[in-house]
């Protein structure tokens, strides 16, 4: 067996989490990073002994991951679906869909408080860049979008986000970690895009909103390309371990 002791998911984010949550997050990261390959059949019993826990938290994790569409629960075993380019495109379809909806609602509403909150998060992101903390940056990046979505107080839009968020979070984590190593200069552009986003909300300029949304989308497209690179690096690394 290859060395899999190192956890991909930030341990500090799990301080109060249950075993089930830990397994869920870690498993998700391993699947999305490509460490567990697409097509692999997961067995509850095997996972339980691998993670040295009982089947209860494993079952819980598999249910969650199935609802996120990254595994498929079948009669015998759970098959890893993983994320192909098709799925990446689909995830961003949904992101554009719900963020456009949210924007449309925000136009009708007082947003000064939201803008304040977003500015704070943006400052946090800058600090994270300064100290090269990829995980913290990712956390704030996800929080940025979640804050916007929460602002319209729409439980069923939030439901969609809740389903999308964990996968988004994993993608962003993996992408940012590799970018901090290789494409550090990207971050000023990311910050600019987020600032544009805030401006759009502040001025309630629908046109600017659409523009910034799509710029963010394009930016995210690049993130995905980065992810492909990091997947390749990772699988190369695993191969090297087998030498």
Instruction: List residues near a copy of itself by CB under 8 A.
Output: 60, 63, 67-69, 86-87, 90-91, 93-94, 97-98, 101, 154-160, 162-164
The smaller minimum CB distance to DNA, of residues 19 and 40, is found at 19
| Minimal distance, residue 233 CB to a copy of itself, in Å | 27
Give the residues across from 42 on adjacent strands. Answer: 78
- Establish if 15 lies at the interface with DNA (CB under 7 A): no
Q: Does the footprint of DNA cover residue 54 (CB under 7 A)?
A: yes
Which one, 80 or 98, has the nearer CB to a copy of itself? 98
Segment lying near DNA (by CB under 7 A), choices 18-26, 30-38, 146-154, 223-231: 18-26
Note whether 50 binds DNA by CB under 7 A: no
- Inter-residue long-range contacts of 17-23, CB under 8 Å, 24+ positions, other chains counted: 18/57, 19/53, 19/57, 20/56, 20/57, 20/60, 20/61, 22/57, 23/47, 23/51, 23/53, 23/57, 23/58, 23/60, 23/61
Instruction: Pick one of a copy of itself, DNA, none as the site partner of residue 163 (Cβ within 5 to 8 A by kind).
Output: a copy of itself
Asked if 233 touches DNA (CB under 7 A), the answer is no
Instruction: State the Cα–Cα distance between residues 74 and 39, nearest whole angstrom.
Output: 12
Residue 120 sits in the site that holds DNA (CB under 7 A): no
Which alpha helices (DSSP H) does the chain contain, by range? 19-32, 44-51, 55-67, 85-106, 112-130, 134-151, 155-182, 186-203, 206-241
With b for 16 or more beta-carbon neighbours within 10 A and e for fewer, the 172-206 pattern comes to bbbbbbbbbeeeeebbeebeebbebbbebbbeeee
Select the binding partner of residue 157 from a copy of itself, DNA, none (C-beta < 5 to 8 A, by kind): a copy of itself
Beta bridge partners of 73: 78
Q: How far is the CB of 93 from a copy of itself (least distance, A)?
A: 7
Please, what is the minimum distance in Å from the beta carbon of residue 156 to a copy of itself?
4
Give 75 or 108: the residue with its C-beta nearer to DNA. 75
Write out the residues near DNA by the rule CB under 7 A.
Answer: 18-21, 43-46, 53-57, 59-60, 75-78
């Amino acid at each position: 067996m290859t060395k899999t002791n190192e956890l991909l998911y930030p341990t500090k984010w799990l301080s109060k989490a249950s075993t089930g949550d830990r397994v869920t997050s870690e498993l998700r990261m391993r699947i999305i990073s490509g460490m567990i390959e697409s097509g692999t059949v997961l067995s509850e019993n095997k996972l339980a002994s691998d993670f040295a826990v009982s089947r209860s938290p494993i079952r819980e994790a598999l249910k969650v991951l199935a609802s996120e569409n990254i595994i498929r629960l079948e009669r015998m075993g759970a098959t890893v679906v993983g994320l192909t380019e098709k799925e990446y495109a689909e995830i961003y379809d949904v992101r554009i869909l719900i963020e456009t909806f949210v924007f449309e609602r925000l136009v009708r509403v007082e947003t000064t408080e939201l803008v304040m909150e977003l500015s704070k998060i943006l400052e946090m992101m800058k600090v994270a860049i300064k100290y090269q903390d990829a995980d913290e940056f990712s956390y704030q990046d996800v929080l940025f979008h979640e804050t916007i979505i929460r602002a319209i107080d729409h439980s069923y839009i939030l439901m969609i986000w809740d389903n999308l968020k964990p996968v988004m979070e994993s993608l962003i984590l993996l992408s940012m970690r590799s970018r901090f190593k290789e494409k550090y200069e990207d971050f000023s552009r990311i910050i600019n895009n987020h600032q544009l986003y805030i401006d759009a909300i502040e001025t309630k300029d629908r046109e600017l909103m659409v523009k910034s949304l799509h710029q963010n989308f394009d930016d995210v497209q690049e993130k995905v390309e980065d992810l492909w690179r990091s997947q390749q690096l990772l699988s190369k690394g695993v191969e090297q371990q087998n030498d």
